[in-house]
Structure 1
């Protein structure tokens, strides 16, 4: 990273030494962001869990195309590196604080004089890991997973490859091992996903369900107990399971594969390193209890637990459920205090897991478990062939809610999550008939989706940067709109779709920032004195499209006066004569005037030539004028 400096150069001039100041360089956006972030750290020490002995070093600064900045810092405590002490300062385009992301959950408070010597730490790591080589131990502070501890970071080489072992500096024991290489790929025969590849670790005499590529994530066997111990699955030939859920390893294959897929979805789609965002893997407990019909995230132990179903043969380990449960951990580590699991925030919490679980399933694109917006359809929990939940129309399960109403937060979060799921589906896929099911709206409107990728980015950005612990649906609407504006702008179809999708599930009403967005469309909003509408009868106005476009939708913005807009029928006609109905006449609509943007599916081509807006007043007796219209594509 470039640093600002002012240099003095000694130059001989007529036999004299003259000091000339080099011209000062203008600060780059990254340097400006760093300086502002450092100032905000000084003003908000509690936000970064500051301790008296802390020192912070810039690791990276990025400035996005929209002007938002994100400055990452590493931490030293009394000169010692703090493992898990990193944090990010987020800045709005005007330099205002936009939040902090901090992996450490409390300030460091440890004595820095080790009771265990470096030699003892090396010996402990050698014996515990059967290491063939041990490097020089480095004293660090381990702040991962709770209260900070003084530890030795010991480089080791063992049969399983190179790793960093963290050895407690107070008593000689290995706290954690971070493998650096020697990952092996095994073959798994799963219950629901067919034959899959598994990332495992090779020991001296066996293979283990430990994934070094994904933070050392571990899949273990609870052996049908509740309290454990949970024994890491091992195998002699790295071929796991046989597709039969009665075989002990088979459900573990689904979980290990699903966990890796969810990790990759987080990383490659969301830019997040694991459940906690710090690169540390999780433990997944399989065969918990006997015939346990559940899967859950433990917010205290920070592990995922999976049951085998009522008959022990339909384990709750499908791709979407693995992604769902891991995403409860993501939510917990993204929102201070979690999204409270009651009231409306409970429905947002549960819905977030459904959303990210479904999107992880789409990411996997597994032919044996094709992507969809159904939750838990693979294990048939009811014995009727029905899924747990339908995201496109939640009420199909008979108990979940499609629409918000005052009191929906009093329901179980699994039921109020229907509002969240329905919103997301409408935002992503749109209303009406879709490839994934027919999705109605609560207000009779029509919504054109923005696609899964954009909808996912919007939801994740709102969750991690805007949501608070007691988030309501109204606040979620405001926060997702803010996230949309930040990511994709306030004046495009994406923003409009998000607003319409919330209105379509009963949260807020559809409104659009006309005054802010009119300049984006180059619209002229002024009275056109001639001609008035034919009364009754149609009239056409034309606009010329100069270039051919290839896209799915265009937007038609219309502003007109009329004492009763329900008398009006509007359509768009392409240069080739194709007609697209924008608005039908509606005798029940007695409101005056019309200011609206209509989204039109074209099927892929925007033609060159004159496009016509056709407005027909179907009832005689009242005059109207068009104030302006535009075709945006």
Structure 2
């Protein structure tokens, strides 16, 4: 668990940075990328494929020989068969084959998995929806347990399936009930029942209506992806891995109570309305998901396509928000006087990025690696805010400026000159590992600002900056898009649990070399930015 509460109640919140900035020279900010600038080399980023190439890739993966080899390597039983759903190919030739599964000819709901392979075709890993062993008996199936086919228009007769979404796989029936939802939209309500007892195991709506709408406290009027039917909508986002936002109702444990709404219009913009904080959290969670998917083709925080739960209204007057690895979930307090929930976009992006770090480098939350952990969340929380392009909460390099924890309208942290908050470090020193990680993060935050915007005076989205360097040197920025690409590649490929600032310099230089070429403008900027914060 990573708590935000520290000295003066300063939280570990997301920093903000510009996705639109590129080709920045010291003291200026430009919205476009120069045509003369180098672009990333082929590597771990998703490859651009034509429709024909995509089809050929899937056809190759779907061959009998390829599927049999993967099934054998995965240790699947003789009754289990794989069906290719999708294939992603990276620029370096690595592939990620997404399979659905059948058992004895029946679809396995929750049996999907992703097999990762190197360029040579060797399996390098697998992500499974369920780790349970598929050993389902057809004995004891009751004819009376088979549901009747619903009469409503659009209904489908029951089909036999293996239900492996929750716990031990069981034989089940899947029935689709048609008709109309209360809102007037068509209905495809999938109902899963136990084939032996007739007990309902699960249900979900196959027709996703137009997005709901929400009135948030920090982001204004926003679109929300919700779920539900018959006037019983919930803050569940199946398009983003089943992400769900729940209400802890001031408790400090549990999964929280499901939010429901009749007309799919959520919140009032006022903190007194319990739905308002949920709107901000749900919107921020979606914005974070979209950022990682759009920028890095990463499906979900762990890269497994699964959503991360968000819980709001934690405790009473709780001036905090935190990510918890044990539940892989986000939790938000309501702030001072329960009037300022810590649910702004940058907070969400920051906290959920702790999950990305946990799933990749696993930077230990202490010493210099802890500072890098915090800075990683500041960096990507920054990028999430810019990527969201929300008119009410525009991108900037101010951290936590919306939630006003200090009570005077000032942000929590500043990326251009971290020491302006009175605690954070502008540059590295031998004592950096002994400083609270929320303040030693300033070193990498400052590095990232220099790499993105450059040193000296600049202005972006109405915010003025003036970023110094430790040695008085001038640094030219390369833009936030390239800077975040470098940091993400370094985090996911080069950093380890005990990476310190010197190691981080090496990791980001290597990442930049891989992306843009050794001695490229970008790699030189990386080195100059680290030197600018006294990391050599």
Q: Structure 1 length normalisation: TM-score? A: 0.63
| 2:20 corresponds to | none
| 2:11 corresponds to | none
Structure 1 residue 258 displacement after superposition: 1.5
| 2:235 corresponds to | 209
| 2:455 corresponds to | 431
Structure 1 residue 490 displacement after superposition: 2.3
- Equivalent of 2:383 in 341, 359, 362: 359
State yes or no: 1:193 paired with 2:219. yes
Structure 1 residue 319 displacement after superposition: 0.8
The higher-RCO structure (CA 8 Å, 6+ apart) is: 2
Partner deviation per Cα, 1:418-442 (whole Å, 9 max, x = no partner): 2222222222222222225222223
Structure 1 residue 502 displacement after superposition: 2.3
Structure 1 residue 76 displacement after superposition: 5.2
Kept in 1, the 8 Å contact 2:369–2:497? The answer is yes
* 1:274-289 aligned within 5 A: 274-289=300-315
Question: 2:97 aligns to what SS in structure 1?
Answer: strand
| 1:86 corresponds to | 113
Cα separation, partners in 2 of 1:343 and 1:455, compared to 1, 3 Å: same
Question: 2:518 aligns to what SS in structure 1?
Answer: coil
Partner deviation per Cα, 1:174-212 (whole Å, 9 max, x = no partner): 666564322332322211111222222342133322223
| 2:252 corresponds to | 226
Distance 2:399 2:177 in 1: 43
Larger deviation: 382-391 or 116-125?
116-125
Kept in 1, the 8 Å contact 2:136–2:171? The answer is no
Structure 1 residue 213 displacement after superposition: 2.8
Distance 1:471 1:202 in 2: 45
Distance 1:488 1:120 in 2: 65
| 1:241 corresponds to | 267
- Equivalent of 1:441 in 469, 484, 489: 469
| 1:465 corresponds to | 493
State yes or no: 1:297 paired with 2:323. yes
Structure 1 residue 243 displacement after superposition: 1.7
| 2:481 corresponds to | 453
Structure 1 residue 412 displacement after superposition: 2.9
Structure 1 residue 140 displacement after superposition: 4.5
| 2:399 corresponds to | 375
| 2:531 corresponds to | 503
- Equivalent of 1:324 in 338, 350, 357: 350
| 2:364 corresponds to | 340
Distance 1:150 1:260 in 2: 32
| 2:507 corresponds to | 479
CA-based RMSD of the aligned residues comes to 4.0
Larger Rg: 1
Kept in 1, the 8 Å contact 2:155–2:188? The answer is no
Distance 1:125 1:434 in 2: 66
Distance 2:343 2:528 in 1: 35
- Equivalent of 2:340 in 314, 320, 323: 314
| 2:413 corresponds to | 389
Gaps of 5+ in 2: 1-55, 182-186
Cα separation, partners in 2 of 1:175 and 1:395, compared to 1, 3 Å: farther
Distance 2:261 2:219 in 1: 20
Distance 2:344 2:82 in 1: 42
Structure 1 residue 57 displacement after superposition: 6.9
State yes or no: 1:156 paired with 2:176. yes
| 1:72 corresponds to | 97
Cα separation, partners in 2 of 1:441 and 1:78, compared to 1, 3 Å: farther
Structure 1 residue 137 displacement after superposition: 4.4
Structure 1 residue 58 displacement after superposition: 6.4
State yes or no: 1:406 paired with 2:430. yes
Partner deviation per Cα, 1:287-321 (whole Å, 9 max, x = no partner): 11111111111211222111110211111111111
Q: Aligned residues, how many?
A: 464
Cα separation, partners in 2 of 1:91 and 1:181, compared to 1, 3 Å: same
Distance 1:477 1:72 in 2: 33
Structure with greater strand share of residues = 1
Q: Structure 2 length normalisation: TM-score? A: 0.73
Question: 2:393 aligns to what SS in structure 1?
Answer: coil
Partner deviation per Cα, 1:246-283 (whole Å, 9 max, x = no partner): 22222122112212222222222221222232332232
| 1:489 corresponds to | 517
Distance 1:322 1:110 in 2: 37
Cα separation, partners in 2 of 1:57 and 1:100, compared to 1, 3 Å: farther
Distance 1:201 1:216 in 2: 9
Question: 1:182 aligns to what SS in structure 2?
Answer: coil
